[in-house]
Amino acid sequence: MSTADVNKNEEIEKKFLVTSSAWKRHAAGQLYRQGYLSIDPKRTVRIRVVGEQGILTIKGERVGATAPEFEYPIPIADAMKLLDTVCLRPLIEKTRYTIDHKAHRWEVDEFHGDNEGLVVAEIELTAENERFERPEWIGTEVTSDFRYTNAQLVERPYIKWKA
């Protein structure tokens, strides 16, 4: 059950580093292209294109693993224009893989471009203390490390971490 099923304006999500490529044998991916109009941690505003769908997302400040989230479909032409002309640079480009493991769905993001080499997994929960089984390829939890948020990857891309 996704968070949207519980409270459509709240996201409870935990994020982890990925320790191996074992997850790939269970996954099919889809390209995501997204940009930000605001990367303020108290209010992020994101434009996303997935396939032929444009999405506007507004997120409030995260407390623990929980943040208010509002998501709306927008015309694909509008989303593309915003990404190409208005959004902060660099854009976030990634392939998102969806993997069902035990009673939960995991999303693994394999980043491209300025964030090439970074692979993280997320799980959405119905409560912060909800129990779940970690697949063998899940490593350190980075939910509280804001460097791993997509909005922060715009400000400080992964390729700059090594410098």
Instruction: Please list the active-site residues.
Output: 36
SS3 content of the chain, % helix, strand, coil (to 5): 20, 45, 35
For CA atoms 13, 112, 153, 57, give the dihedral sign.
negative
- CA neighbor of 11 nearest in space, from 72, 99, 71: 71
Residue 59, judged by CB atoms within 10 A of its CB (0-12, 13-18, 19+), counts as: buried
- Look at strands 28-40 and 53-60 and give their pairing: unpaired
State in Å, rounded, how far the first CA of the chain is from the last one: 41
Token look-up 């506007």 returns 56
Cα 123 from Cα 130, distance rounded (Å): 11
